[in-house]
A and B are shown apart, each in its own frame.
Chain A
Amino acid sequence: TQLLEQSPQFLSIQEGENLTVYCNSSSVFSSLQWYRQEPGEGPVLLVTVVTGGEVKKLKRLTFQFGDARKDSSLHITAAQPGDTGLYLCAGRTGAGGTSYGKLTFGQGTILTVHP
Chain B
Amino acid sequence: NAGVTQTPKFQVLKTGQSMTLQCAQDMNHNSMYWYRQDPGMGLRLIYYSASEGTTDKGEVPNGYNVSRLNKREFSLRLESAAPSQTSVYFCASRDGTSRNNEQFFGPGTRLTVL
A binds B: no
Measuring CB to CB, which residues of chain B are less than 8 angstroms from any residue of chain A? none
Measuring CB to CB, which residues of chain A are less than 8 angstroms from any residue of chain B? none
